[in-house]
């Protein structure tokens, strides 16, 4: 079978996964990437005495399920397997004890993990509260939030030089004295931007809440109560903030510890950045997903689930993820020791909504919820059988003795302490696409794809396009109409039975989102990454009900997102009091084109001049900024250059200056100029300079982006964002759940699977 990849999949692979040479040129095909990964993972069986023939067969099996897009591992594995880096895990949890040594030792480890492409989770619950007395020094403790800001700043610094942007989870127990401040710490969307935050809620707290009682806040240093507070007041604040901007999320920490397979090693305190992978200190976990959209077959014109295929792929996936642990190059010895002690893996699914559509089952139905339980139960059962086989052949995980599997009859020789996790599948679902993400519903049936020069192309969900053409109601005009908001709800000309099946995230009541999460959670060892979507008009009480329902249905946590609750409305239409009006209307792209006027130049302005060596000679780039430090204009000069070279440089300078003065985001300008090549490249301080335009981009980055002298990307209206290299951009009219701007391609960031991700280029904050 030849590898069939979508246009988007090829772009994501070229940008993020395929090998590149020193000049950034792709030197690997997708087939070669999958072969590289399959070979690197299969070789682990050599440790256990397998023959070369057996290893070659296993490699072919791994290669087959990946190229058939039936299973894909987490991104670090695809990126790093078979390379010198060799760090293959996505999820890490690090301890933070109440000492400077522990705080900054974990910070150092965090930097190493982020550099290698992993995400980190922390519980700050052991840190003494703000203003507590430090007896050893006589000083005053600064509290968990202050140290979380230190971690956030460090992540920002590593992010600029690392291969992947770092992501963190910050968790605080509900009985910590600083819980109210922690709940409010991300009220401003521009603060602590490299963290998701969650409150670890205990069963005791929920019982107090049900009875309307007060509860104790406990000093983690003395372990003594310091204050009693109203449980309802605390819960109200958590819900209010979640309604406002989606944070904090909630994890039900006692429920997570109910399935702690190795309680003698310690208790769970934290999760990875999206909340679905709970781990002990220093543990890491390897994730992968079965593509359910590929797990069906058409018989007599109707799709049916291919249970035999799910069985085979699940068993191979468990073998793959277990082998991954053996060949992984861990960032720290402590992490290797903790990870190999329990050998936890997290097998999940993607393409759930796509499968439901093929089966003609609405996402928001009892039939879908029942099928979710059936499929996940089947996957867990087959994964368990395979882990038992591996345990008998290779040995149990080292911490097996005293674990929940340690039975007297010796019948449960499990190889892995945990087997299943429903994790975000942002980029791998694009590679496997067209395929829906994780267990989320579709985000849109049809949407606009913006290309260069603001041309708009209509992108249609392939399954919908197929059905529309079969049923005879397909037309370009209809697709454009659907693309206005992505949903079929208020669109005429689409049969009701089609509307019933092709539902999107905002067509579905929050209760069904929670019920679907709970259905999968029943058969997931770890937790389930899922966003509970709310319409913009949802009330705080609606969010409260969802939180309580999640607890009642035995979910291990909950993340919500209310439509438009994070939109950055820098420009508004209306009166001067529009900031006070929650319904202030955002400026459309057409309005923006009419309103924008470049700022006039003041008489005096200051700046810097940077010298860069190019293949054409020394280039001098002057960047001037206004009184607020915002970039205003750019001039270039190159020795004795004249004629065409001088005129082109002047043209670039004028256009960049115009963009600065018009408020265009600096990173977007920089990306348009970067890597443009000319016949005479050069080297400058160890960097390849491809052209004068490339040199200008690097100066802009050095002086403005790295020095943080410009406004953050989210302060630029969405209407300003354009894709480059003809990459797709979801238009702001297509969905309401846009939460910002992709730092890689300028596309729309959406809140999905408990994370922020871009459908245009595959960027995922987590």
Helices of type H across 588-634: 589-595
Which CATH code for domain 91-271? 3.20.70.20
**For range 731-740, the mean pLDDT:** 49
| DSSP at 46 | G
SS3 498: helix
Give the pLDDT confidence score for residue 703 in this predicted structure.
83
**CB under 8 Å to 671, separation ≥6 — which residues?**
697, 724, 745, 746
387-407: string of b/e by CB count within 10 Å (b at 16+)?
bbebbeebebbebbeebebbe
Residue of 549, 568, 565 lying closest to 557 (CA atoms): 549
Residue of 381, 382, 315, 314 lying closest to 348 (CA atoms): 314
Least reliable range by pLDDT among 293-297, 556-560, 615-619? 615-619
Give the pLDDT confidence score for residue 766 in this predicted structure.
64
Give the pLDDT confidence score for residue 753 in this predicted structure.
79
**For range 734-761, the mean pLDDT:** 65
| pLDDT tops 70 at residue 714 | no
Residue of 424, 456, 442 lying closest to 756 (CA atoms): 424
What are phi and psi for residue 350, nearest 5 degrees? -140, 170
Give the pLDDT confidence score for residue 641 in this predicted structure.
52
pLDDT tens digits, residue range 525-544?
999 999 999 999 999 999 99
CB-side exposure of 201: number of CA atoms within 13 Å? 28
Asked if the peptide bond before residue 248 counts as cis, ω within 30 degrees of 0, the response is yes
- Tell me if 146 sits within 8 A of 170, measured CB to CB: no
Residues in the chain: 766
| pLDDT tops 80 at residue 751 | no
Residues catalogued as catalytic = 272, 274, 276
pLDDT tens digits, residue range 189-230?
778 989 999 999 999 999 999 999 999 999 999 999 999 999
Residue 577 or residue 486, greater confidence: 486
State how far the Cα of 77 lies from the Cα of 336, in Å rounded to an integer.
Answer: 16
DSSP per residue, 439-458: T--BS-SEEEEE-GGG-EEE
Helices of type H across 502-588: 510-521, 540-552
Least reliable range by pLDDT among 20-29, 547-556, 604-613? 604-613
Give the pLDDT confidence score for residue 642 in this predicted structure.
55
Q: Which residue in the block uniquely carries the two structure tokens 């590929």?
A: 294
pLDDT tens digits, residue range 323-350?
999 999 999 999 999 999 999 999 999 9
Region class of 534: left (phi > 0), else alpha (psi between -120 and 50), else beta: beta
| pLDDT tops 90 at residue 575 | no
SS (H, E, C) 675-700: CCCCCCCEEECCEEECCHHHHHHHHH
Residue of 620, 636, 633 lying closest to 664 (CA atoms): 633
Average pLDDT, the chain: 86
Burial tier of 211 (Cβ tally within 10 Å: 0-12, 13-18, 19+): exposed
Give the pLDDT confidence score for residue 140 in this predicted structure.
81
Structure token pair of residue 683 = 């080297």
**For range 567-589, the mean pLDDT:** 35
Residue 664 or residue 66, greater confidence: 66
Q: What are the CA-CA distances from residue 497 to residues 183, 368, 480, 502, 510 (Å)?
A: 43, 16, 21, 9, 22
Longest CA–CA span in the chain (Å) reads 87
pLDDT tens digits, residue range 421-468?
999 998 899 999 889 999 999 989 988 765 544 456 778 899 999 999
- Tell me if 141 sits within 8 A of 132, measured CB to CB: yes
**For range 554-559, the mean pLDDT:** 97
Structure token pair of residue 746 = 């300028």
> Per-residue confidence at 741, pLDDT binned at 50, 70, 90?
low
| pLDDT tops 90 at residue 723 | no
Taking the alpha carbons at both ends of the chain, their separation in whole angstroms is: 32
130-167: string of b/e by CB count within 10 Å (b at 16+)?
eebeeeeeeeebbbbbebbeebbebbeebbeebebbbb
What are phi and psi for residue 593, nearest 5 degrees? -60, -30
| DSSP at 573 | E
Give the pLDDT confidence score for residue 577 in this predicted structure.
40
Give the pLDDT confidence score for residue 677 in this predicted structure.
79
Give the pLDDT confidence score for residue 126 in this predicted structure.
97
436-463: string of b/e by CB count within 10 Å (b at 16+)?
bbbbbbbbbbbbbbbbeeeeeebbbbeb
| pLDDT tops 60 at residue 717 | no
State what percent of residues in the chain have pLDDT above 90. 62
Q: Which residue in the block uniquely carries the two structure tokens 């987590």?
A: 766
Domains of the chain, by residue range, sit at 91-271, 606-708
Q: Which residue in the block uniquely carries the two structure tokens 């200056």?
A: 657
| DSSP at 293 | G
Least reliable range by pLDDT among 135-144, 282-291, 367-376, 549-558? 135-144
Structure token pair of residue 443 = 């985000």
State how far the Cα of 300 lies from the Cα of 401, in Å rounded to an integer.
Answer: 52
Residue 133 or residue 707, greater confidence: 133
| pLDDT tops 70 at residue 7 | yes
Structure token pair of residue 325 = 């642990």
Structure token pair of residue 715 = 């302060």
Structure token pair of residue 53 = 């023939």
| pLDDT tops 70 at residue 736 | no
- Tell me if 55 sits within 8 A of 45, measured CB to CB: yes
Residue of 527, 698, 543 lying closest to 612 (CA atoms): 698
**Which stretch, 130-139, 308-317, 447-456, 608-617, has highest mean pLDDT?**
308-317
**For range 260-288, the mean pLDDT:** 96
| pLDDT tops 80 at residue 615 | no
Residue 710 or residue 131, greater confidence: 131
Looking only at the bridges linking them, the beta strands covering 91-93 and 195-201 are unpaired
């Amino acid at each position: 079978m030849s590898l069939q990849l979508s246009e988007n999949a090829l772009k994501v692979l070229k940008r993020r996964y395929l090998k590149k040479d020193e000049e950034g040129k792709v030197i690997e095909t997708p087939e070669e990437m999958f072969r590289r990964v399959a070979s690197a993972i299969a070789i682990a069986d050599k440790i256990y005495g397998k023959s070369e023939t057996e290893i070659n067969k296993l490699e072919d099996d791994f290669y087959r399920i990946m190229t058939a897009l039936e299973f894909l591992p987490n991104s670090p594995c695809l990126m790093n397997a078979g390379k010198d880096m060799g760090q293959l895990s996505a999820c890490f949890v690090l301890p933070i004890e109440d000492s400077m040594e522990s705080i900054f030792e974990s910070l150092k480890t965090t930097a190493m993990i982020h550099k290698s492409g992993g995400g980190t989770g922390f519980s700050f619950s052991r840190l003494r509260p703000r203003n507590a007395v430090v007896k050893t020094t006589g000083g005053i403790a600064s509290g968990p939030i202050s140290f979380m800001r230190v971690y956030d700043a460090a992540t920002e610094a590593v992010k600029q030089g690392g291969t992947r942007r770092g992501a963190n989870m910050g968790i605080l127990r509900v009985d910590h004295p600083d819980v109210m401040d922690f709940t409010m710490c991300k009220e401003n969307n521009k603060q602590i931007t490299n963290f998701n935050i969650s409150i670890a809620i205990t069963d005791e707290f929920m019982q107090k809440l049900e009875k309307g009682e007060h509860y104790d806040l406990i000093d983690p240093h003395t372990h003594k109560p310091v204050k009693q507070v109203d449980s309802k007041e605390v819960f109200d604040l958590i819900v209010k903030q979640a309604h406002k901007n989606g944070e904090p999320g909630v994890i039900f920490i006692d429920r997570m510890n109910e399935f702690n397979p190795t309680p003698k090693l310690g208790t769970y305190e934290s999760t990875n950045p999206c909340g679905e992978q709970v781990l002990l200190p220093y543990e890491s976990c390897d994730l992968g997903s079965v593509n359910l959209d590929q797990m069906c077959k058409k018989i007599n014109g109707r799709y049916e689930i291919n249970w035999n295929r799910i069985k085979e792929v699940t068993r191979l996936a468990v073998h793959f993820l277990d082998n991954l642990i053996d060949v992984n190059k861990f960032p720290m010895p402590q992490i290797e020791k903790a990870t190999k002690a329990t050998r936890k893996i997290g097998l999940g699914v993607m393409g759930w909504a796509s499968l439901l559509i093929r089966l003609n089952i609405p996402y928001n139905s009892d039939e879908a919820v029942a099928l979710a339980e059936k499929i996940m139960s089947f996957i867990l059962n087959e994964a368990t059988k395979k882990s038992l086989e591996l345990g008998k052949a290779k040995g149990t995980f080292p911490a097996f003795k005293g674990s929940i599997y340690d039975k007297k009859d010796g019948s449960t020789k499990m190889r892995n302490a945990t087997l299943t996790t429903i994790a975000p599948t942002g980029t791998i679902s694009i590679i496997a696409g067209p395929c829906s993400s994780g267990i989320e519903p579709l985000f849109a049936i049809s949407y606009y794809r913006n290309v260069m020069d603001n041309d708009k192309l209509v992108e249609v969900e392939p399954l919908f396009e197929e059905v529309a053409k079969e049923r005879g109601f397909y037309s370009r005009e209809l697709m454009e109409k659907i693309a206005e908001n992505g949903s079929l709800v208020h669109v005429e000309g689409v049969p009701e039975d089609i509307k019933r099946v092709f539902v999107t995230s905002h067509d579905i009541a929050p209760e069904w989102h929670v019920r679907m999460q709970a259905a999968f959670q029943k058969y997931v060892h770890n937790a389930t990454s899922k966003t509970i979507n709310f319409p913009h008009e949802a009330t705080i009480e609606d969010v409260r009900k969802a939180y309580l329902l999640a607890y009642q249905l035995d979910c291990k946590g909950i993340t919500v997102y209310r439509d438009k609750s994070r939109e950055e409305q820098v420009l508004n239409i209306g009166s001067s009091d529009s900031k006070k009006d929650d319904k202030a209307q955002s400026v459309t792209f057409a309005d923006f084109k009419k309103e924008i006027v470049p700022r006039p130049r003041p008489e005096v302005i200051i700046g810097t001049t940077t010298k860069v060596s190019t293949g054409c000679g020394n280039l001098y780039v002057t960047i001037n900024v206004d009184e607020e430090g915002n970039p205003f204009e750019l001039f270039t000069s190159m020795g004795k250059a004249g004629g065409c070279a001088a005129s082109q440089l002047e043209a670039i300078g004028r256009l960049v200056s115009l963009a600065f003065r018009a408020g265009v985001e600096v990173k977007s300008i920089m990306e348009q100029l970067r890597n443009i090549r000319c016949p005479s490249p050069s080297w400058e301080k160890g960097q390849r300079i491809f052209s004068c335009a490339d040199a200008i981009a690097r100066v802009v980055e050095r002086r403005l982006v790295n020095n943080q002298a410009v406004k953050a990307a989210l302060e630029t209206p969405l209407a300003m964002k354009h894709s480059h290299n003809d990459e797709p951009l979801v238009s702001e009219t297509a969905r309401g759940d846009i939460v910002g701007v992709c730092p890689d391609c300028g596309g729309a960031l959406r809140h999905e699977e408990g994370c922020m991700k871009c459908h245009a280029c595959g960027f995922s904050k987590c």
